[in-house]
Amino acid sequence: MRQINTIRNRFTRALRGHYTPIGDQPSPSRLMDTELCLYLLETVAADQTAHGVPALLDGYRALWDAVPSPPADATVRLANARALLWRSQRPYGWDELLRAYLSAPEAVRGYHLDPLGRPLRRQCRVAPDRWDWYEQLLTEPLPFATTGVRFATPGRYRMSSTARGHGVTVPDGLPPAPAPALHDLAVRTRAPIEVTWQELVAAARGMDAADLQARRAPHRWEERLQDVTLQIRLADHTFGDATTLRIDRILHMVGMVSVGKSTLVTILATWAAQHDFRVTIVVGDNSAALRMAHELSWYDGVVAAPVMGQNRTRHAERLHRLQPPAPGRLLPPEPYGFELVSTACPLDAVRDKATPLEVREAPCQHLIETDPDAPVDGWRDGARRACPLWHRCQRHEAARRLVTANVWIATPWSLVHTPVPGPLSHEQMRYLEAAWRRSDLILVDEADQVQANLDEMFASAQVLLGPSQEAWIDEIGARVAEKLRATGRAPVSSRQIRRFTTALNQARSAADIIYQLLQRDRVRAGKPVLNWLDPDYFTAWTLFNSLAQDWAGYTAAKGRRPDPGWDTDPLYKLLREQFNAFIDNPTDVSGEVAGGLATLAEAQLSETEEETREEAVRQWLTELSDRELVEGRKIAPTELDRNVWRLELAVAVAVMAHRLNLMLAIWPEVAAELDMFDTLPAEVRRPPSDLAVAVPESPMGNVLGFQHVEDDTDRRDGQLGEFRFFRYTGVGRALLVGLPDLFPAEGPGPNVLLLSGTSWAGTSPRYDIDVPVEAILRPPPQKLAAISETTFTLDIQHQGERSTPIWVSGRYGDERASALRQMVAALTQPGAGPGRPNRLERERAALPPGRQKVMLLVGSYAEARTVTNELLRRKSSWEGQVRCLIGDDELETGWDDGHLLRRGDVADFGTDDAWLLVAPILAVERGHNILNNDGVAAIGAAFFLVRPHPRPKDLSYVTQRINQYALEQLRPHPLDDDCPAHERLVGAGSRRRRVAQRQWRRLLHAMVAYSQLGTDERQRVAWTQLVTIWQVVGRLLRGGQAAKVYFCDAAFAPATARRSDTDTDLDDASTSLLHGMREVLTPYFEPNGVHTDRHLVQALYQPLYRALTTMGDR
């Protein structure tokens, strides 16, 4: 976290005695921020109007599009300004700040505006050194806030980590703490990294020798590395063999699925550590990080440590599940990682209490010295001290190891969300910032998946209320209530938990009122409330803005702007100011209008009779209409009833938004106290603001809003669809593609290697990484030839005597589960011939020895259980031969659950006695190899029982598309010449935002249904699902093997499924996903193709294209 308190304090002291703000005049601190914005404008775009400042702070390139020759250090100035001035990004917010600044006395201001609105510098007698201070802030690295950690000395303390503030006495005579070792977080001197392939082979050979000497199972590092060929892009866009790997700033490397990219990551990291480079490796989850840290540390010169998240209980439980003990033993045969996930608290041992602290209650940095003279209620405000045993505590062993480790292994979440512990650093920063400063090389494995993870962190979309199981506000309410019930409601002694539960209850009450209002509006003529809501999205601000325009006499047709002058009208401005104050705090605000709205909000939350609530709104609005709010003006709402209903809804939305924001802000503390880290979806948690300013804002402007989606407005069962919540705070993937330049003022960043088998994926919004591919890993020709024998077959299953094709995709709930059971019935139907083997048995018998295993693919873990249960019900003789994949954190439910297999243990399926695995598609998409005793893929055939596809109104797809669009906006977009010279910066920023708004609304409004999409969007969906399918098939290709893949859901080829003797319709790319996949690949395989990436696509997807073009139909 950056801070500039030194200069801010100088400025404030300099104004003391010269400036006392009155009315709307800014505070000295806010005056300085506004003036720093104007100084930025003066130094990078001197001839532009002051209204262009927001275009400098949004993270895009409006400056370069609008100004002919920006200064060479403009990138540094803008990055520093964004870190300091991010609150000034929104145009309407900046206009208010600018007006307030200009209302301050000229004597304390450094600027006035010329007639065109351009800032002109004044001679300042007050704080004359301000210009030097501003220059320093914009051109030098910004200092971090300090941690200020102080350790507790012997005495009596209360633990703020506990709900009730339990006491503990720190005794005399504790073992003295060792001299603390702190992180060296100085920015490294960077240079390109070069290594010859032979050097990597030599490193691999040394690793094999170390394995042999330690009598470990052989990993065959040298053999596996020799099995791949490095190729680099040549001038003609072909790829040629290379003997040297060079990583200069960022290198995007791809290789066919299962080619051995993770092998290269491990060997390259080992070589780098042995040559005095510091390395950070990004992997998919904490379990993988723990295992990799353990295995890398086997080798000479490598000291590896994982960057762990903060949920210690979950980490420990998962590690125990992944390493079960041998029969009759307490420990697994070869344990690893347990010393890094300890949940012990040494200070707990000196307490005089029989009941130990909960894991989450350890007071690592939460000791507050008790003062018998201090007020009882204010003790939590006291200074916090760290535990004197921190540097000896086993709980913090992983964090301490990172200080001396030369290889860090992290997940995207631990890098972004986890702070460096205060006892290990004098500066407050996240591990991503620390890794950026101390690493020479960052290796990102499965980079396309990491990109998707980062998108979710910064651009969230969640169902809040509705009939689906994804409705978060209902789900979290139930889980919190259950946790409080199970603990005898003891946690409610915590102030934060009381705040959270109150906010949760009020948010649910507001949501229920919203549903009631919409339900009642269904029967009104013209549906004046439902039709008032923007079908794309709405916020409390947009609803109240519409009311302000109406009441001020500027009513406009939906979708059209009101008459000119509305935004400067005094009555509108007063209403807007009062509405803004109410939105900021709906139940604790004063003012003639805002205070009345707060009273209405309180009534909404307490009054049970809806007629009484409505009448209170009607009476208040009627009385307000009789008042003269500005000289000679009263509000004039058109149609009183309509405005009453709309105002009631707007008040409820404001309450819900405010309470939801509060819940999300305090959730980390509440989750820690209740031990409920995983209740809130990760993608809804707020990203740290200190990293949010390092990425561009969402192209249409950061948005917090709601969407109401009705599947059928004429349905009579009373259901009102889903109520969804949006928060877009930045383009998460920009952290990945911009990693070398993330903090420009600090100089060049680390070298970055991005690896994946599918991170070049055409126009896929989820998987394609916007960095040119410059290197390829190729398998040997004989393995490529074997993989190319992979076959795809359309194998639509039918119910009964081949009469009705079975459709799974496009169905939900009980209908979908029923279709899956019908699919199982069809696949297990006895066939003809001796023994009457069914479809699955015949397939198993046809597979080669050692690979006679089959995988059935479904859409979720719940569906995997449905299919498994139906299999065992129909084929009881298969007991012990079927495995059902479950999540790593899922608990078994009974003595008869021997068929359940955790995702982290899926590799065991390769060598156990079972032959049939039922698994969700995304659970086996990547990251786990299922090998037989010969070290090749154990599964020979896969049946897709469902078609992978986003849900028709999938919000994550919109997120990925808008972020893909955002990176396109970082390319040059020259401005039209007809824009006035002094407004080019404003024009560039507003044009980008305006076009992005249209794009975003189009995406929100669209149904992501394959057969209904236009060509462009359909091909994007086809690319995305192509990657998903090919990654799953990759589990069957390991070791250079061929796979047999069957597509059983009628949705894969709907025209073919429906076809009869009289119906000759054929599927094409517009109806069938399989045809669509072939369509997007075909241009790259045409004999006379001219696409510059055709050689790359052929290297990645040739076996897939061959399987699609030779696909049979059973």
Distance from chain centroid for Cα 295: 29
Helices and strands, number each (H, E), in the chain: 35, 30
**Structural contact between residues 528 and 521, judged by C-beta atoms closer than 8 angstroms:** yes
The DSSP H or E segment spanning 723 is strand 722-728
**Structural contact between residues 308 and 315, judged by C-beta atoms closer than 8 angstroms:** yes
894-917 average pLDDT score:
85
Distance from chain centroid for Cα 588: 33
What was the pLDDT predicted at 163?
A: 65
Q: Please name which of 855, 861, 872 lies closest in space to residue 821, comparing C-alpha atoms.
A: 872
What was the pLDDT predicted at 882?
A: 96
Question: With 60 as the cut, is the pLDDT of residue 251 above it?
Answer: yes
DSSP one-letter code for 257: T
What was the pLDDT predicted at 359?
A: 83
Q: Residues 478-533: pLDDT tens digits?
A: 778 877 777 677 666 667 788 888 988 898 899 888 888 888 888 888 889 988 98
Question: CA-to-CA distance for 613 and 566, rounded, in angstroms?
Answer: 31
Q: Where in the chain is the domain with CATH 3.40.50.300?
A: 789-827+838-951+1017-1113
Residue 85 pLDDT grade (very low, low, confident, very high; cuts 50, 70, 90): confident
Terminal Cα distance for the chain, rounded? 61
Q: How many CA atoms lie within 13 A of 187 on its CB side?
A: 16
Residue 714 pLDDT grade (very low, low, confident, very high; cuts 50, 70, 90): very low
Q: What is the DSSP string of 4-70?
A: -HHHHHHHHHHHTTT----TTPPPHHHHHHHHHHHHHHHHH-TTS-GGGHHHHSSSS-HHHHH-SS-
**Structural contact between residues 587 and 598, judged by C-beta atoms closer than 8 angstroms:** yes
What was the pLDDT predicted at 902?
A: 87
DSSP one-letter code for 995: H
Residue 585 pLDDT grade (very low, low, confident, very high; cuts 50, 70, 90): confident
Cα–Cα separations (whole angstroms), residue 965 to 34, 705, 719, 999: 31, 20, 35, 9
568-592 average pLDDT score:
87
What was the pLDDT predicted at 190?
A: 92
Query: What is the sign of the dihedral through the CA atoms of 795, 796, 798 and 802?
Result: negative
The CB density around residue 507, as the number of other CB atoms within 10 Å, is 23
What was the pLDDT predicted at 719?
A: 57
What was the pLDDT predicted at 1114?
A: 60
41: tokens are 């404008």
**Structural contact between residues 756 and 261, judged by C-beta atoms closer than 8 angstroms:** yes
Q: Please name which of 566, 539, 943, 881 lies closest in space to residue 726, comparing C-alpha atoms.
A: 539
Question: With 60 as the cut, is the pLDDT of residue 346 above it?
Answer: yes
Q: Residues 1028-1053: pLDDT tens digits?
A: 999 999 999 999 999 999 999 999 99
Q: How many CA atoms lie within 13 A of 449 on its CB side?
A: 20
DSSP one-letter code for 616: H
Question: CA-to-CA distance for 824 and 840, rounded, in angstroms?
Answer: 10
Q: Does domain 789-827+838-951+1017-1113 have CATH number 3.40.50.300?
A: yes
Beta-carbon contacts of 1024 under 8 Å, excluding residues fewer than 6 positions away, are 761, 764, 765, 766, 767, 950
What was the pLDDT predicted at 464?
A: 77
Greater pLDDT, 319 or 891: 319
The DSSP H or E segment spanning 736 is helix 734-737
590-596 average pLDDT score:
89
Burial (CB count <10 Å: 0-12, 13-18, 19+), residue 788: middle
Mean pLDDT check: name the lowest of 516-530, 740-754, 1049-1063: 1049-1063
By percentage, how much of the chain surpasses pLDDT 70? 92
Burial (CB count <10 Å: 0-12, 13-18, 19+), residue 715: exposed
994-1003 average pLDDT score:
84
By percentage, how much of the chain surpasses pLDDT 90? 56
Q: Residues 771-809: pLDDT tens digits?
A: 999 999 999 999 999 999 999 999 999 987 667 899 999
What was the pLDDT predicted at 540?
A: 87
Buried b (16+ CB within 10 A) or exposed e, 641-654: ebbbbbbbbbbbbb
> What is the value of pTM for the model shown?
0.88
What was the pLDDT predicted at 530?
A: 87
Beta bridge partners of 430: 419
Question: With 80 as the cut, is the pLDDT of residue 593 above it?
Answer: yes
649-662 average pLDDT score:
90
Greater pLDDT, 313 or 963: 963
What was the pLDDT predicted at 716?
A: 45
423-436 average pLDDT score:
94
Q: Residues 626-651: pLDDT tens digits?
A: 988 888 898 988 889 999 999 999 99
Question: With 80 as the cut, is the pLDDT of residue 846 above it?
Answer: yes
Greater pLDDT, 506 or 317: 506
Q: How many CA atoms lie within 13 A of 136 on its CB side?
A: 10
113-137 average pLDDT score:
94
182: tokens are 């702190």
Mean pLDDT check: name the lowest of 652-666, 728-742, 1057-1071: 1057-1071
858-876 average pLDDT score:
95
Question: CA-to-CA distance for 1084 and 1081, rounded, in angstroms?
Answer: 6
The CA-based angle 674-676-682, given to 5 degrees, is 140
289-307 average pLDDT score:
95
Greater pLDDT, 984 or 461: 984
892-907 average pLDDT score:
75
What was the pLDDT predicted at 997?
A: 83
Residue 927 pLDDT grade (very low, low, confident, very high; cuts 50, 70, 90): low
Question: CA-to-CA distance for 444 and 455, rounded, in angstroms?
Answer: 16
Strands of the 1044-1047 sheet, one edge to the other: 900-902, 882-886, 916-920, 853-858, 939-944, 1044-1047, 791-794, 1112-1113
843-852 average pLDDT score:
96
**Structural contact between residues 839 and 816, judged by C-beta atoms closer than 8 angstroms:** no
